């Protein structure tokens, strides 16, 4: 892709900065954190210092003042090196902050966005429940209004930053008779699960945020991939949430969260694209160095064709992803394009990482090379923020809508 099709000089500078940071500071620790599943507080702190946790938000809200394309570039570049760090940027920014930026009151924006955009604390998004995954409208968590507050009860599942985060945007049913129009969203706060680590590194905890009684994180998931990213349950037991913490109008929670997921899908497309391109880079490097039968294995046509297919598909993925980001940035409809980019790139990430492991032969099946981690990290891209099946539903419904049927 011609860099100047979507990128300004500023975008190219952001790309260079993220590449440098990812290769110098993230690459050396990625395998260790994948193995231990420990949250990488130190490098996440560095991401905050570099402005990577608030890229698209205005400077007056503590953000870096860049745009959606710059944000997409950061996720794409980071995922070439470590998908767990890339999902931290994406889940924190789009899922954990953007609903406040877009649907919050001025007071909510001023109170929470600077803390999130600077990386002082981490944010999360509570939509999925044990019984409400693809059927996001099947939310069972309830919010019952009692005077100046709501009382929340329920459980959320698979929540990125569920343990390490302090600010959460969650959905709950306020009017069971109204289906998806009876779902509202709320801002909830709790203490990070590891105050000691947060205090030691100097991010992740803000003592001025109230720890709402009855709100806590539950079981940490032991995952196949994205193992340095923190995924847990969120549990609400008679949590009293002040009315001023409702995000948007009563009943607007479902649509607001669906719009947030449209943006989130551009982020997951970028993350998947980074994994696919990173796997291609690894395969190219290995296959030009590794010799068998007296020549670099890249010279064998069977393997060279695999590399050609990977490169062609990565190129296609770039156009889908940056086109969706460009539409979003210019305020144009992009729901279908975001779902297409997410669908294509997540399935591409799986194909490319599997091929990269194959190119590495036996070595690719060990932890001596990053491609086995990349293959494990790719799988969830076909599941999180809407499965491939859900993307096909979103795309086909939007096509029919455009036809007026």
Work out how close the CB of 11 gets to ligand COS at its nearest, in angstroms, rounded to a whole number. 26
The answer to whether 385 is a known catalytic residue is yes
Angle, helix 388-402 to helix 335-360, in steps of 10 degrees: 150
Interacting stretch for ligand COS, rule CB under 6 A, among 78-86, 129-137, 244-252, 359-367? Answer: 129-137
Number of amino acids touching ligand COS (CB under 6 A)? 20
Rounded distance between C-alpha atoms, residue 63 and residue 55, angstroms: 6
Rounded distance between C-alpha atoms, residue 112 and residue 274, angstroms: 30
Rounded distance between C-alpha atoms, residue 184 and residue 55, angstroms: 27
The pattern of x and - marking residues 258 through 297 that bind ligand COS according to CB under 6 A reads xx-xx-----------------------------------
Rounded distance between C-alpha atoms, residue 55 and residue 57, angstroms: 6
From 231, 36, 72, 236, select the one nearest 141 (Cα to Cα). Answer: 236
Measured at CB, which residue is nearest to ligand COS?
A: 386
Q: Which is nearer to ligand COS, 114 or 137 (CB)?
A: 137
Mapping DSSP to helix (H, G, I), strand (E, B) and coil, where does residue 233 land?
A: strand
Q: What angle do CA 196, 235, 53 make, to 5 degrees?
A: 55
Alpha carbon separation from 99 to 66, 108, 169, 324, 385 (Å, rounded): 18, 11, 8, 19, 15
Does 182 help bind ligand COS (rule: CB under 6 A)? no
Residue 331, Cβ density class (10 Å: 0-12 exposed, 13-18 middle, ≥19 buried):
exposed
The residue annotated as part of the active site, out of 38, 289, 385, 389, is 385
Does 67 help bind ligand COS (rule: CB under 6 A)? no
Work out how close the CB of 330 gets to ligand COS at its nearest, in angstroms, rounded to a whole number. 17
Kindly report the backbone phi and psi dihedral angles of residue 386, in degrees, each rounded to the nearest multiple of 5, phi listed first. Answer: 105, 120
| Residue of 136, 271, 349, 359 interacting with ligand COS (CB under 6 A) | 136
Does 396 help bind ligand COS (rule: CB under 6 A)? no
Work out how close the CB of 185 gets to ligand COS at its nearest, in angstroms, rounded to a whole number. 13
Interacting stretch for ligand COS, rule CB under 6 A, among 39-47, 124-132, 297-305, 307-315? Answer: 124-132
Interacting stretch for ligand COS, rule CB under 6 A, among 21-29, 123-131, 289-297, 307-315? Answer: 123-131
Question: By CB under 6 A, what part of segment 331-370 binds ligand COS?
Answer: 335
Torsion over CA of 383, 388, 393 and 395, rounded to 10 degrees?
A: 120
Interacting stretch for ligand COS, rule CB under 6 A, among 77-85, 97-105, 133-141, 276-284? Answer: 133-141
Cite the active site residues: 385
Residues engaged in binding ligand COS (CB under 6 A): 125, 127-128, 134-137, 180, 254-255, 258-259, 261-262, 335, 385-386, 390, 393-394
């Amino acid at each position: 892709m011609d860099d100047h099709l979507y990128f300004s000089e500023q975008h190219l500078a952001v790309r260079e900065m993220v590449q440098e940071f990812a290769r110098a500071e993230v690459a050396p620790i990625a395998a260790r954190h994948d193995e231990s599943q420990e949250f990488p507080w130190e490098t996440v702190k560095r991401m905050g210092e570099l402005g990577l946790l608030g890229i698209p938000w205005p400077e007056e809200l503590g953000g870096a003042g860049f745009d959606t394309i710059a944000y997409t570039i950061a996720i794409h570049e980071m995922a070439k090196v470590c998908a767990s760090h890339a999902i931290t940027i994406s889940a924190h920014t789009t899922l954990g902050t953007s609903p406040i930026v877009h649907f919050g009151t001025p007071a909510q924006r001023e109170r929470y966005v600077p803390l999130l955009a600077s990386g002082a604390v981490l944010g999360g998004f509570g939509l999925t429940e044990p019984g409400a995954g693809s059927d996001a409208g099947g939310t069972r968590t309830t919010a019952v209004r009692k005077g100046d507050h709501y009382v929340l009860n329920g459980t959320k599942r698979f929540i990125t930053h569920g343990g390490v985060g302090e600010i959460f945007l969650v959905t709950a049913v306020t009017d069971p008779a109204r289906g998806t129009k009876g779902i509202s969203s709320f801002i909830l706060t709790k203490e990070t699960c590891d105050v000691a680590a947060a205090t030691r590194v100097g991010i992740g905890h803000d003592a001025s945020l109230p720890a709402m009684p009855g709100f806590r994180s539950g079981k940490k998931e032991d995952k196949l991939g994205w193992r340095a990213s923190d995924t847990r349950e969120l549990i609400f037991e008679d949590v009293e949430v002040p009315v001023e913490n409702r995000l948007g109008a009563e009943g607007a929670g479902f649509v607001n969260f669906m719009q947030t997921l449209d943006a989130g899908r551009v982020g997951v497309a970028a993350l998947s694209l980074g994994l696919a391109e990173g796997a291609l880079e690894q395969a190219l490097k290995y296959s030009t160095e590794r010799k068998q039968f007296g020549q670099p294995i890249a010279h064998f046509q069977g393997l060279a064709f695999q590399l050609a297919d990977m490169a062609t598909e990565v190129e296609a993925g770039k156009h889908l992803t940056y086109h969706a980001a460009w539409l979003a940035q210019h305020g144009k409809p992009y729901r279908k394009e975001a779902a297409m980019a997410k669908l294509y790139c997540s399935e591409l990430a799986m194909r490319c990482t599997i091929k990269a492991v194959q190119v590495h032969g036996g070595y690719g099946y060990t932890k001596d090379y990053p491609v086995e981690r990349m293959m494990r990290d790719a799988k969830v891209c076909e599941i999180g923020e809407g499965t491939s099946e859900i993307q096909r539903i979103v795309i086909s419904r939007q096509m029919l809508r455009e036809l007026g049927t």
